[in-house]
Structure formats: structure tokens, C-alpha cells
């Protein structure tokens, strides 16, 4: 594709050359001559017109009389001079304007030529060129150079995709042709090392009968396959750590004692090491490690990950097929055992049937008992203020009756001590007696004055029972009955205090 100079109508801008060339200096003198002749003609025309108006004969004497009688003719005599100057100035202006137009057209033509050369360079994929500094519109130049950079980036990306697709196609053929797992590992490792232009590579696979050891299955270096025996525990070194983390590791600052690459020229440390998990569908079956004297690019690492995924898929499929075959053999063996046990199962079925009938009867009885317990629980919830607390007295359960009487919500009580409902009129001695009693594993019963959320008091007949497990108190269950008759409650409280021998003034407990 050839680009034109973008000036298809350039012939329309050509000017005549020669005497009447408007863009030349001769044109202004030509215009001056035209003005001179026009002034002379104007003099003659004025004389002829005046003679015709006066109806006189043409002659020198008549002309003399006209000039003598009409001074305007004397003024007209200056017309050649003034018209020559005027036409000269007009010619100069026209000539300069045409010259300016020619210069502008030539500059635009030069600008289009610069663009043509730049586009022609892009056509032949010469992406190292830039728009000439002589190109005046730098905004357009920046856009063109940005477009050049995008073309170059697309070209590089396309080359990388083609390189990757070609490598994956070769790897796919390799995975289909080789059936033995160990041989396939060696072939894949050799292909990857050569295709990436690396210097060394190793491939570790998880032992089939162990989830803690990685075995070295292939080692390839400098076009030679090495047969080594080595195992790495899961989590040991970078290879074992890569297996655990299931993420690619890149090392550019390789420790001096990590790995050495030996050639005919000596021994040297690699510049870059890539460790990639053999991962397929969230399952890791091994780790691949390659070392190179040159830094691997991101697209090369991505290609290595795709190769690892494809190889992991083959390994996993192979192992699954082996497991399926093994399970099939075990299933056949189990089928034979089941057939031998079938008769015994038939005999057991009759016994199970009889047991089922007994269980059905027992379930019906249990349902009836459960129903009765639910009724009792409902009655207890309506009449009794219930709560549970841990061994330290922290509330862990309250029923609806407790919340109804105390005016607290369950969320305001759970996790709080019982002192939240303790009334300040109650003496501390009775609570010390209560804790002393229940901590010895005995039941405490007493008349207690509690405080509601709004600060008002209410009386309860409380029973606190400790719950024991293996000889240790694990919680306390409190059952309280609301005494709505305050006079009765005060009387019972005073009798209780006398009975317990606790001297406490009852002022404030009166009605």
C-alpha cells in the first residue's frame, strides 16, 4: 500500500509564469504600466467628452482653450502618475499575497510529506522511528507516536501469543503420545527447558501413597537428561514451600549455595529461578523448577504455568484412572463377599423387623412422654421465674417469666451477674449464706427482695440448686415464685431472718 502526498489538487495551485505571473516582481511593474496607460486614456477621454459637449472641432487650439477654460483638465493630467502608483501598490499587494499562498502551500506539502514518510515507516514495521521535529503540529505528532507505540505493543503481544500457542500445541502432542508417567515427566521437562531457553530444570511429583513426600521424577540440563534419586518433604526448602502455598515463586537474587549450573566453561549461579506448582482444579500433584542465566519474562512464566497445569491434568487423570481400576477390582472382590453375606443378611432382616416393631412402640411411648413434658414445661414457664448461671454466677439463661417480672430483655440479662436484680435493701449476709450453701453442693431456699429495671421492688420465694458433673459444680439453676402480696412477703422475710439468726433492721421493708 502506497500513501500519496495528500495533495491531489496541487495542479490547481500553479500560477502562470512569465510576464503576467502574479507571484513575481514583474507583475507589480506591469500593473504600474497599466495604471499609466489608464491615466493617459483618462486624459484623452476627458478631452474628447468635453469637446463633444461643447460641440467644437478637435484641434490643438480647441484643446488649449479647454485647459484654459476648465482647470479640471489640468488636474486630470496627474492621473497617469497617481494611477501608476495606485496600480503598482495593488500589484505589489497581490504579488505578496500570492507569494505567501505559495509558501504556505509548499509548507503544507512539506508537512504532508513528513507524515507520508512516517506512515510509510509504520507500514514496513519500522517502529523505531519518530515524527520529524520539523513537523509543526506536535499534538498530532504525539498522537501518531502513541499510535506507533500501540502498534508495536500489539505486534509484540501477538508474537508472544503465537509463541505460546505454538509451544502449547507441541506440548499437547507430547502429552498425547507418551503414556508412561516417568517418561512423560522427562519429555515434558526437556521440552520446557529447551523452549524457554533455560539451562536446567527439575520436576517433582507427589508420591502416590504419601501426602508428605515429593519425588524427583525428571532432571534436564544442557540437552542432557540426568537420572537422579532425590526426595523432598512437603514444606522443605523452596520446592516444598511452593507445594504448600500453591503459588509460583520467582527468584532473581539467587543465594550462592542454592544451585550451580555446570558447563564446559565452569560452574556458575543462575540469574533466575522459577518454581511452579503442578496444579489442576485446586489439586497440586507436584512442582516444576527451572533455572536460567537470563531473566524470564512474564509471558514465559505464564507459559510455564500453563505447561504445568496441562501436565498436572494428565498426571491427575492418570492417577484417577489407576484408582478407578483399583477400586473396580476391590468392588468386584467386595461383591463376592457381599454375595456370601447375603444369606446372613436375610436372616438378620427378620430380626431387624421384629426390633423395628418394638422400636415403633417405644417411639410412640416416647412421643407421649415428650408431649407431657412439654405441657409441664409450659406450666412451669408460666408460674415460675427460671434462670441458669455458670459456676461464677453469670446468667446464661432466663425464661419469659423472669423478663416479664424484672422488666429486663433477655439481651440485657445474659452475660450479667445476678446482682443486676439485687435490691439494695437486702443484707449481704443472706447472699454470703446462699453462696456458702450452694458451693457445698446443697440447695438454698429463701425469701429474696429483688429490684426491677425501673427501680421498684418485687419479692420472690427463691430456690437455688447446684448442678454437679463428676463431682464438680458446673452451673446453678434458680426457680423463683413471685410473691405478689408484699405484706406476706415481708412477714415471711422477717421469719426467715429470725430463723437464720441474721440481725437486720427491717426498716424499709415495711409496707
Number of C-alpha atoms within 13 angstroms, CB side, residue 72? 6
Least trusted range by pLDDT, from 18-22, 41-45, 450-454, 472-476: 18-22
235-245 residue pLDDT tens: 888 888 888 88
Contacts 24+ apart (CB under 8 A), 5-11: 5/109, 5/112, 5/113, 5/116, 6/112, 6/115, 6/116, 7/108, 7/109, 7/112, 10/105, 10/109
Q: Tell me the pLDDT band of 266, cut-offs 50, 70 and 90.
A: very low
Give me the pLDDT at residue 459, please. Answer: 92
Cβ atoms < 10 Å from Cβ of 36:
18
Q: Which three cell numbers stand for residue 457?
A: 421492688
Q: How many residues does the chain have?
A: 511
203-221 residue pLDDT tens: 888 877 767 788 888 888 7
pLDDT at residue 22 is higher than 70: no
pLDDT at residue 226 is higher than 80: no
98-135 residue pLDDT tens: 888 888 888 888 788 877 787 887 777 777 777 777 77
If you average pLDDT over residues 463-477, what whole number do you get? 89
284-338 residue pLDDT tens: 888 888 888 888 888 888 888 888 888 888 887 877 777 777 788 888 888 777 7
To the nearest 10 degrees (0 to 180), the angle between helices 138-177 and 181-195 is 160
**What totals of helices (H) and strands (E) does the chain contain, helices first?**
12, 14
Q: How far apart are CA 286 and CA 290, in angstroms?
A: 14
End-to-end CA distance of the chain: 113
Give me the pLDDT at residue 136, please. Answer: 66
DSSP assignment of 328-364, as one string?
HHHHHHHHHHHHHHHHHHHHHHHHHHHHHHHHHHHHH
Q: How far apart are CA 463 and CA 58, in angstroms?
A: 159
Name beta bridge partners: 467.
Answer: 475
> Mean pLDDT score of the chain, rounded to an integer?
79
393-435 residue pLDDT tens: 899 998 888 888 888 998 888 988 988 888 898 888 888 888 8
Name beta bridge partners: 462.
Answer: 446, 480
70-82 residue pLDDT tens: 777 778 778 788 8
Three-state SS letters, 361-422: HHHHHHHHHHHHHHHHHHHHHHHCEEEEEECCCEEEEECHHHHHHHCCCHHHHCCCEHHHHE
If you average pLDDT over residues 451-480, what whole number do you get? 89
Among 458, 430, 457, smallest CA distance to 445 is for 430
Among 400, 439, 434, 394, smallest CA distance to 416 is for 394
Q: How far apart are CA 309 and CA 304, in angstroms?
A: 9
Give me the pLDDT at residue 259, please. Answer: 61
Name beta bridge partners: 466.
Answer: 476
148-194 residue pLDDT tens: 888 888 888 888 888 888 888 888 888 887 777 788 888 888 888 88
Amino acid at each position: 500500500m502506497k500513501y500519496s502526498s495528500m495533495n491531489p489538487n496541487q495542479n490547481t495551485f500553479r500560477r502562470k509564469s512569465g510576464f503576467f505571473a502574479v507571484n513575481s516582481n514583474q507583475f507589480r511593474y506591469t500593473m504600474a504600466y497599466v495604471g499609466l496607460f489608464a491615466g493617459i486614456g483618462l486624459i484623452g477621454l476627458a478631452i474628447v467628452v468635453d469637446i463633444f459637449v461643447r460641440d467644437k472641432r478637435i484641434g490643438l487650439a480647441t484643446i488649449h482653450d479647454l485647459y484654459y477654460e476648465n482647470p479640471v483638465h489640468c488636474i486630470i493630467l496627474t492621473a497617469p502618475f497617481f494611477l501608476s502608483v495606485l496600480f503598482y501598490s495593488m500589484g505589489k499587494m497581490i504579488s505578496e499575497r500570492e507569494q505567501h499562498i505559495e509558501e504556505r502551500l509548499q509548507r503544507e506539502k512539506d508537512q504532508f510529506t513528513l507524515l507520508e514518510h512516517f506512515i510509510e515507516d509504520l507500514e514496513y514495521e519500522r517502529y523505531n522511528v519518530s515524527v520529524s521535529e520539523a513537523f509543526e503540529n506536535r499534538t498530532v505528532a504525539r498522537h501518531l507516536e502513541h499510535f506507533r507505540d500501540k502498534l508495536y505493543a500489539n505486534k509484540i503481544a501477538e508474537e508472544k501469543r503465537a509463541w505460546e500457542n505454538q509451544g502449547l500445541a507441541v506440548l499437547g502432542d507430547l502429552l498425547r503420545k507418551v503414556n508412561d508417567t516417568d517418561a512423560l515427566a522427562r519429555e515434558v521437562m526437556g521440552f520446557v527447558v529447551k523452549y524457554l531457553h533455560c539451562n536446567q530444570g527439575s520436576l517433582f511429583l507427589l508420591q502416590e501413597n504419601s501426602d508428605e513426600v515429593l519425588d524427583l521424577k525428571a532432571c534436564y540440563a544442557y540437552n542432557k537428561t540426568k537420572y537422579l534419586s532425590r526426595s523432598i518433604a512437603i514444606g522443605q526448602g523452596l520446592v516444598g514451600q511452593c507445594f504448600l502455598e500453591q503459588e509460583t515463586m520467582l527468584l532473581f537474587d539467587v543465594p550462592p549455595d542454592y544451585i550451580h549450573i555446570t558447563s564446559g566453561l565452569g560452574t556458575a549461579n543462575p540469574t533466575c529461578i522459577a518454581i511452579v506448582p503442578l496444579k489442576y482444579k485446586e489439586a497440586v500433584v507436584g512442582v516444576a523448577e527451572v533455572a536460567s542465566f537470563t531473566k524470564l519474562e512474564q509471558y514465559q512464566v505464564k507459559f510455564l504455568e500453563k505447561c504445568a497445569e496441562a501436565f498436572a491434568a494428565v498426571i491427575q487423570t492418570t492417577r484417577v484412572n489407576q484408582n478407578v481400576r483399583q477400586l473396580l477390582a476391590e468392588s468386584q472382590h467386595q461383591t463376592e463377599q457381599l454375595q456370601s453375606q447375603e444369606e446372613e443378611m436375610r436372616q438378620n432382616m427378620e430380626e431387624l423387623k421384629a426390633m423395628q416393631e418394638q422400636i415403633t412402640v417405644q417411639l410412640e411411648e416416647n412421643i407421649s412422654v415428650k408431649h407431657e413434658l412439654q405441657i409441664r414445661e409450659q406450666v412451669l414457664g408460666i408460674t415460675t421465674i427460671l434462670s441458669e448461671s455458670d459456676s461464677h454466677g453469670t446468667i446464661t439463661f432466663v425464661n419469659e417469666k423472669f423478663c416479664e417480672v424484672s422488666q429486663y430483655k433477655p439481651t440485657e440479662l445474659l452475660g450479667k451477674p445476678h446482682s443486676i436484680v439485687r435490691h439494695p435493701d437486702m443484707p449481704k449476709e443472706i447472699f454470703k449464706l446462699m453462696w456458702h450453701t450452694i458451693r457445698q453442693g446443697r440447695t438454698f431456699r429463701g425469701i429474696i427482695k429483688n429490684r426491677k429495671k425501673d427501680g421498684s421492688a418485687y419479692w420472690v420465694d427463691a430456690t437455688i440448686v447446684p448442678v454437679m458433673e463428676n463431682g464438680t459444680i458446673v452451673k446453678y439453676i434458680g426457680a423463683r415464685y413471685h410473691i405478689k402480696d408484699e405484706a406476706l412477703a415481708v412477714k415471711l422475710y422477717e421469719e426467715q431472718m429470725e430463723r437464720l439468726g441474721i440481725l437486720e433492721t427491717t426498716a424499709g421493708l415495711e409496707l
